[in-house]
Amino acid sequence: MNYTTVIGLECHVELSTKTKAYCSCSTEFGGLPNTHVCPVCLGLPGALPVINKEVVSRAIKAGLALNCNITPYQRYDRKNYFYPDTPKNYQITQQALPICTDGWVEIDTQQGKKKIRIERIHMEEDAGKQLHTKAGTLVDYNRAGVPLIEIVTRPDLRSKEEATAFMTKLRAILQAIGVSDVRMEEGSLRVDLNVSLMPEGSETFGVRAEIKNLNSFKAMEKAVAYETQRQAQALAQGEEMLEQTRRWDEACGQTLLMRSKEMANDYRYFPEGDLVGLAIDDEWIERVRATLPELPHDQAERFVRDYGISAYDAMVLTQERAMAQFFDEAAALSGDGKACANWLMGDVSRLLNEEAKTAQELTFTPKDLYDLTVLIAEGTISNAAGKKVLEAMFHEGKKPQALVESLGLAQVSDEDELLREVQKALDANPKVIEDYRNGKTKIVGFAVGLVMKATKGKANPSIINRLVSEEVEKRARQ
Ligand SMILES: [Zn+2]
């Protein structure tokens, strides 16, 4: 039987506020263990939490950008569990009344645009970190109490490609609105998958498995593929399907069973009595709405309209805020969006990937890229030399004009000088003219190659092409 894969996502997003969700401790990443702590986030008796308004504003901002309704009355709940990384033995979260509901994100699929519904966004807090050493397990509470939002989708995704398209879009939006730095490798964006199968054509969902511990889009895709296969096999063998929690194991490339439903935790949610209820009025929502920047999909549409680049290129360029801004500035300066897009999506992206860097870390400016395109368009350097200049700009952060000089890449466009090179090459290879007379007109290309080689690629190729054609023609008639 053929099955359809049904996927829902739960994304945990660390908010990049300066202070924690319920105390004034710093949220900065990488401090010495247990230096960003206080009685509140350590859960000491008698310490009372206070709502960080900025966390609420950022959750509202995410909700507005993701087309959600904002719940006017906020209530917080306790999720109880005993584990060393949770000093209070409960997490302050929102169970009954999430701050945002019923939103959507539009993604591009092979079948066209598709809306992925968002069920809810709620505020919660992070736990501490455990470090397992030979001497025993150590706990660092610096992360305990760092604000998170959890974004839960409806089970609207049908393939690993759709899951990645959704996550790419979600990450771009959250980065653009500045609520989080959404770095999966640093754990500020984490995703859990719900995967189930249903017979093709059916509308009844199967029993789902929840997959945890996915730390990259690649891992997410591999986990979807593995789960689809595992569940199809289990169904084919007539196994009884039970809800279960599994985790992705990168080393063995499999999902492994953590617990089945009978062993599921009972969190005994109840209202958080230490925090007051919170009303969010329209004025607050409108104040936040006014801070929303141009969102990635609107920006992509503008790039297509204003700079004449393809929808695909615009989509790729708007996946990262810094890259989109860089392109916007460079294209506005040069008026040649296609050239800028080609440089950024080609050589610049390749160099960034090689060094595992983001566009934010580029050491040259949009003006520098524009200057480089001018140097090529005016014929000062060839396109091939341009690539060398770009690499040097990337590594050394120097200006393109200075690099053209220091690398000796300036193109020779002086026609008299180039004609002498052409004549020298033809004098040394008399067979070229002979072949040409015998109808082998393609030999002209060979002669161009000879001159380019003799001038070490610095000759202006369009001038050389013309001069070689003219000179060969002239000599062939003599
Ligand atoms: Zn604290």
pLDDT in tens, 36-70: 999 999 999 999 999 999 999 999 999 999 999 99
Residue 358 CA to ligand 1 center (angstroms) comes to 32
Is 296 exposed, middle or buried (CB count within 10 Å of its CB: 0-12, 13-18, 19+)? buried
Residue 39 CA to ligand 1 center (angstroms) comes to 6
Residue 81 CA to ligand 1 center (angstroms) comes to 20
Residue 42 CA to ligand 1 center (angstroms) comes to 7
pLDDT of residue 123: 97
Map out the domains of the chain with their CATH numbers. 3-287 (no CATH), 296-406 (no CATH), 415-477 (1.10.10.410)
> Which residues of the chain are under the pLDDT cut of 70?
262-264
φ and ψ of 255, to 5 deg: -95, 140
- Among 292, 17, 239, residue whose Cα is nearest residue 145: 17
HSE at residue 435, side-chain half, CA atoms within 13 A, is 13
* Residues paired with 246 in a beta bridge: 211, 257
8 Å CB contact between 177 and 292: yes
Long-range own/partner contacts, residues 79-84 (CB < 8 A, 24 or more apart)? 79/124, 79/267, 79/269, 80/267, 80/268, 80/269, 80/270, 81/265, 81/267, 83/127, 84/128, 84/130, 84/137, 84/139
pTM of model > 0.85: no
Residue 24 CA to ligand 1 center (angstroms) comes to 6
pLDDT of residue 263: 66
Two structure tokens written together for 209: 């498995």
pLDDT in tens, 243-275: 899 999 999 999 999 887 766 678 889 999 999
Residue 50 CA to ligand 1 center (angstroms) comes to 10
Residue 45 CA to ligand 1 center (angstroms) comes to 13
C-beta neighbour count of 363 within 10 angstroms: 12
Residue 76 CA to ligand 1 center (angstroms) comes to 18
Residue 23 CA to ligand 1 center (angstroms) comes to 5
pLDDT of residue 180: 95
Residue 140 CA to ligand 1 center (angstroms) comes to 13
- Among 242, 245, 221, residue whose Cα is nearest residue 166: 221
C-beta neighbour count of 254 within 10 angstroms: 15
pLDDT of residue 262: 65
What whole-number distance in Å separates Cα of residue 208 and Cα of residue 65? 29
pLDDT of residue 404: 84
